[in-house]
Amino acid sequence: MTSPTSPALTGSCMCGHVKYTSTTLPTHLTSCYCKTCRRLSGAPFLTFGDFPVTALTFTSNPSSRMFTSYSGIAVRSHCRECGSPISMQYKCEPETIGITVGSIEEESVRGPLPRVTSHIFVEGGGEGRLKGGERGEEKGDGEG
Ligand SMILES: [Zn+2]
Ligand SMILES: [Zn+2]
């Protein structure tokens, strides 16, 4: 029951050049601890909400988004002005797009966001040690 006139949520980058709306809430949330996500965000991990690509509309000028592919298996987009990471899309899953949950406007969300159910690249290649070591910092255990 989605209506194109009432987005389930909207979001934007830090500076507002990149904006999007979605007709649905994300199906699930995934926190990715891979090296690329850590470097891009400057944080221990990046959390993405997965959306069907058909649900998502970028309402900003298309040239505001800059595309990169660091790993070759996924394409990311960033704001060309402020650099905020906006999306990641696996080439093998072209029908799904991951949107950084930090870019979602919390006030716009209509309904409960799902919990983070996946933690990926936590242990792969030993790159997940930050998580184990710093877990005490993360009071989010009971959150969400
Ligand atoms: Zn921006
Ligand atoms: Zn990652």
pTM listed for this prediction: 0.81
- The confidence band for 1, taking pLDDT boundaries of 50, 70 and 90, is low
106 CA to middle of ligand 2, Å? 23
- Sketch the domain layout of the chain as residue ranges: 9-127
Q: Is the pLDDT of residue 53 over 80?
A: yes
Pick among 3.30.43.10, 2.170.150.70, 3.40.1780.10, 3.40.1000.10: CATH of 9-127: 2.170.150.70
79 CA to middle of ligand 2, Å? 18
100 CA to middle of ligand 1, Å? 13
pLDDT in tens, 54-67: 999 999 999 999 99
Ligand positioned closest to the Cα atom of 77: 1
Average of per-residue pLDDT across 22-51: 95
85 CA to middle of ligand 1, Å? 9
Ligand positioned closest to the Cα atom of 71: 2
Ligand positioned closest to the Cα atom of 64: 1
122 CA to middle of ligand 2, Å? 10
pLDDT in tens, 100-141: 999 999 999 999 999 999 999 986 544 444 444 333 333 333
SS3 per residue for the chain: CCCCCCCCEEEECCCCCCEEEECCCCCCEEEECCHHHHHHHCCCCEEEEEEEHHHEEECCCHHHEEEECCCCCEEEEEECCCCCEEEEEECCCCCEEEEEHHHECHHHCCCCCCCEEEEECCCHHHCCHHHHHCHHHCHHHHCC
Average of per-residue pLDDT across 66-86: 95
- The confidence band for 143, taking pLDDT boundaries of 50, 70 and 90, is very low
